[in-house]
A and B are shown apart, each in its own frame.
Chain A
Amino acid sequence: MTYIVKPINHHPNLEKNALGLTRRDYEGTISTLCAGCGHDSISAAVIEACYDLSLASDQIAKLSGIGCSSKSPSYFLNQAHGFNSVHGRMPSVATGANLGNQDLLYLGVSGDGDTAGIGIGQFMHAARRQLNITYIVENNGTYGLTKGQFSATNDQGSKSKYGEENVLAPIDLAAMAIQLGAGFVGRSFSGDKDQLVPLLKAAMKFKGFSLIDIISPCVTFNNHVGSTKSYDHIREHNESVSSLDFVPIGQEIKTSYKEGSKVDLPLHDGAILTLEKLSKKYNPLDKGLAVQSLNEAEKNGKVLTGLLYINPEIKDHAEILNIADTPLNQFSDKELCPGSNKLAKVNASLN
């Protein structure tokens, strides 16, 4: 833990975004996680993405559960709204918030224990319901806060810090989310911001349930030889399916990819997601292929990263359930209590 406050001094040439804010304006308090924790890199990537998109912090709500991962919202966007919920119950809180106000950008931050362990039921239903949220799983395969037991995403055969092997098969959150109907599923690595930042930007702009499962090594309990979630292991076994460029609305597409390898995907607000397919076989629009590829990769000991699946045409829960666009707090008494005449009409319609 660091005892000093991060100095407010910044580089004199630090650039500003469209809101006139610097990257430093999106920071939170200094991290209390272990030095070198992958979660801190993810926080930095979130900061980078929000800065790049020129998002206003007061239009963002950070929601989390319990765990090292769920502490991390303190370390970014200190001017955003935040809710640190009960263990594994973040999706419920997010659902409530979402019903109350669709205008905010919901950033769910959870870990492998919070999501694949205690909160797996909540997670599955949020995905199934197409809750409009960017759901980040900071996945280190271990229970760091309780000294390094295997979590539900830990790979079979992977060794703990103390030497014993994990005998149980892992839950693949990405594959599960695809099967449950999530519209945007990606996987990335905390040590690869070039991939992670555009992926985060695209996920934040996606309307519907977007999951990014981010492998985030635990330097204290899961970064040793024999672990399949260490910096070294992920770097050696990382297989990226696509390279991603997020082009905000109104900007020209400048990246030039090889003929035939490029896919442009329009998002809801007119922004464009440009993908370069790194593998000829892969197609992120093909649900069956995505799940199959994930299974194959797991069998071969590879970690498939990038945008794994996207369905740009999906409807989010608000659209499906026909929920009013106006946030609840903007309704006046008159609209909320339309009077006895209206009530009588409603009652009559039920006869």
Chain B
Amino acid sequence: MDTKYLFKRHNTYWVKVAVPKDLRKDLGFDLRTSLHTHELSEAQKLREAVVEDFKSQIFAAKENLKQSNGKTPVKTFMPVTDTSDPQYYHKVVDCQYACPAHTPVPEYIRKISQNEYTEAYMINWESNVFPGILGRTCDRPCEPACRRTRTHEKPVAICRLKRVAADFKDDVSDLLPKAPDKSNGKKIALIGGGPASLTVARDLIVMGYECTLFEKDPQAGGLMRTNIPSFRLPEEVLDAEVDQILSMGLKTKFNSEITSLKDFLKKDFDAVFIGTGAPKGKDLNIDGREDAEANIHIGIDFLTSIAFEHIDSIGKKVIVLGGGNTAMDCCRSSLRLGAEDVKVVVRSPFSQMKASEWEIEDAMEENIPILENHVPKKFLHEAGKLVGMEFQKVEAVFDDKGNRSLVPTSDEPVILECDDVLVAIGQDNSFEWIERDIGLEFGEWDMPVVNPSTFQSTHPKVFFGGDAAWGPENIIWAAAHGHQAAISIHKFCQDEDINDRPAPGTNLVSQKMGLHEWSYDNDISQAKRFLVPKADQDTALKSLKIEVEKGFDANLAMEEAQRCLNCDVQTVFSEGLCIECDACVDICPTDCINFMFNGPEDEVRQNTRIPALNIEQDLLVSKILPTKRTMFKDEDVCLHCGLCAERCPTGAWDMQTFLYEEAKVYS
């Protein structure tokens, strides 16, 4: 199959030409364009002209550069890879690299496959604080990054394996760190009781800080409690992991909403962390909004009311507006409250809905229809009571720059009957309680100005994290922010430079056990991704409390864990030992290894055994070898099967486990 310069995206063929390093500032990493065809033969025909065009663009840019430099450019060579930079091998572990908290994913998956659930749980707990919760609710940035997706398979079910670790662990209370007997005398206030604040508390309590949590609700947990329905996250799982932190010695002030930061700062705290989330649901101010007020609800407020059992019923016909995860939770909750006809209506095309793929699937499995391309126009009401909604049908049109606009079609307006409407079209931050004259600067969109690496605001004592820092994200981001903010708060309280960030902990250990034996299982599983067993739907739909997903059992977990490619077991190359016998080149199942002459990166990438077109993936470049050639290994689809090392007569290739641990305040 001749796919030179071609790649597939959403089943459509695209052309991609790599841009030489020195031109990337002007042209970007590569030039690419869609060929608007699903047919390979067609794409092959169209390719030539486009490639020519791209090459002439690159050539012109080169000429420009030459003129501006006033001298002929020297032929460039790819530099030798510096594997001592912790980020090189870290990037090879795609899942861990993609995770905001950089949880060592393959490490804990291996523990699961060895039935060491407690160890697997603790690896997670150390890194992301809420393994049981995240194992059910995480947005899983790791899964689309999984190497299995690049070998055209489904990713490893990383998230649900995390849940396995939480489900099957032993009692971990003895393994959790404790606060020191004596406090260090510094007092920290945490405003908002969500995952970000709880993470900061966990990290700082261990260091001897006295932390006090202020929460407007009667319980801690933040959106994890108020916005995630119990049928996705059972209350006992949530309570267990929140209590782990509360019981470390966190002082709590529940039902205490802070209404003025100015006054609050007068209290005796050395630093204040704000993790108040994005608690304000967006409203939809169209015709009839005020008249039908009684039956129009804001999605996240609706979910909160369910969580605190303030409501227990809803109308028979419900329309949910919005295409995000909150909308999915709203529609599924409505069904369980007794609604008989629930519809989700979104403005955009189905393919561009913001909700995670699996949450959309879950809603659809419960037979909830999703109507796409419907823009809400009016709330219809009779005698002060909501009776329906009017929508305009639209279609998505893209301009040359790829910007989308929704253009009304000539279809008649669509009228849908309903008793209740849930508006789940987005969330905003709410900082009315922060005065603007206290030295805390606000920037674009009325958001506080926060340093992206230290999480410090322009008021040196005040730190932000979670959704409060940069708008709505997921729990895993809040945990990642919390760790960083804790480091900053510690450094701030100890009068250290908070911009001086601690380096990650790394370790690289050979896995060689014998001539052809490794201490990891290098046989590549050919199994397809396993599905998580679910509760019987008829029963599940009757209660808000019955968890829909039952989780993997130990056997399924083992099988799924075997699908992990152990990307953290690195292929480490020692040029001094290589005799250039080609054994590794011949055995590599995915043709990653090349011995060839060095040159500019774009040239090297085109000349490898199979062109290395995925420029997001690095090439491992060796020092020059005795035959004047260089070893280039394309990290893109390496299976980490270790066959290169097994067939290497001199041990020039070795399989070494790379453990990367993001720095914490206590490390």
Given contact pairs A4-B523, A6-B589, A35 touches B611 in the complex (Cβ within 8 A): no
A-B contact count (CB 8 A): 106
Given contact pairs A2-B647, A35-B646, A12 touches B150 in the complex (Cβ within 8 A): yes
Interface residues of chain A: helix, strand, loop or mixed (majority): loop
Check if B1 sits within 8 Å of A13, measured CB to CB.
yes
Check if B643 sits within 8 Å of A44, measured CB to CB.
no
Bound CA–CA A3/B585 (angstroms): 19
Check if B610 sits within 8 Å of A13, measured CB to CB.
yes
Give B651's nearest chain A residue, CB to CB.
Answer: A35
Quick one: which of B573-595 are within 8 Å of A by CB? 579-583, 585-587, 589-592
Given contact pairs A9-B151, A44-B582, A191-B582, A36 touches B649 in the complex (Cβ within 8 A): yes
Is B3 interfacial (CB-CB < 8 Å)? yes
Given contact pairs A36-B579, A36-B581, A14 touches B610 in the complex (Cβ within 8 A): yes
Binary interface encoding of chain B residues 521-542 relative to chain A, with 1 for a CB under 8 A from any of its CBs, else 0: 0111010000000000000000
Name the B residues within 8 Å of A7 (CB-CB): 523-524, 526, 589, 639, 641
Check if A35 sits within 8 Å of B583, measured CB to CB.
yes
Check if B649 sits within 8 Å of A35, measured CB to CB.
yes
**A37 contacts which of B2, B583, B610 (Cβ < 8 Å)?**
B583
Is A92 interfacial (CB-CB < 8 Å)? no
Given contact pairs A35-B649, A43-B586, A11 touches B591 in the complex (Cβ within 8 A): yes
Quick one: which of A1-42 are within 8 Å of B by CB? 1-16, 24, 30-31, 34-38, 40-41
Bound CA–CA A126/B151 (angstroms): 47
Binary interface encoding of chain A residues 39-51 relative to chain B, with 1 for a CB under 8 A from any of its CBs, else 0: 0110110000000
Name the B residues within 8 Å of A41 (CB-CB): 581-583, 586
Name the A residues within 8 Å of B639 (CB-CB): 7, 9
Check if A44 sits within 8 Å of B586, measured CB to CB.
yes
Check if B152 sits within 8 Å of A12, measured CB to CB.
yes
Is A193 interfacial (CB-CB < 8 Å)? yes
Check if A9 sits within 8 Å of B580, measured CB to CB.
no
User: In angstroms, how far is the closest chain A Cβ from the Cβ of B578?
Assistant: 10
Is B613 interfacial (CB-CB < 8 Å)? yes
Bound CA–CA A65/B527 (angstroms): 39
Name the B residues within 8 Å of A4 (CB-CB): 522-524, 641, 643
User: In angstroms, how far is the closest chain A Cβ from the Cβ of B573?
Assistant: 15
Check if A36 sits within 8 Å of B647, measured CB to CB.
yes
Name the A residues within 8 Å of B206 (CB-CB): none
Name the B residues within 8 Å of A3 (CB-CB): 516-517
User: In angstroms, how far is the closest chain A Cβ from the Cβ of B630?
Assistant: 16
Give B3's nearest chain A residue, CB to CB.
Answer: A13
Give A17's nearest chain B residue, CB to CB.
Answer: B1
Name the B residues within 8 Å of A15 (CB-CB): 1-3, 610
Is B627 interfacial (CB-CB < 8 Å)? yes
Give A41's nearest chain B residue, CB to CB.
Answer: B582
Quick one: which of A290-321 are within 8 Å of B by CB? none
Is B61 interfacial (CB-CB < 8 Å)? no
User: In angstroms, how far is the closest chain B Cβ from the Cβ of A261?
Assistant: 23
Given contact pairs A3-B516, A40-B586, A12 touches B580 in the complex (Cβ within 8 A): no
A-B pairs, top 6 by smallest CB distance, nearest first, are A36-B649, A44-B586, A7-B524, A219-B649, A36-B581, A4-B523
B residues with CB within 8 A of A: 1-3, 150-152, 515-517, 522-524, 526, 579-583, 585-587, 589-592, 610-611, 613, 626-627, 637, 639, 641, 643, 646-650
20 contacts between A and B (CB under 8 A): A2-B643, A3-B516, A6-B587, A7-B523, A8-B589, A9-B151, A9-B639, A10-B590, A11-B592, A12-B151, A16-B1, A35-B583, A36-B579, A37-B583, A41-B583, A43-B586, A190-B582, A231-B580, A235-B626, A235-B627
Given A1-B515, A2-B516, A7-B639, list of 20 further CB < 8 A pairs?
Answer: A1-B516, A2-B646, A3-B517, A7-B641, A8-B589, A13-B1, A13-B613, A14-B1, A15-B2, A16-B1, A24-B589, A35-B646, A36-B583, A38-B581, A40-B583, A43-B586, A217-B581, A219-B581, A231-B580, A231-B581
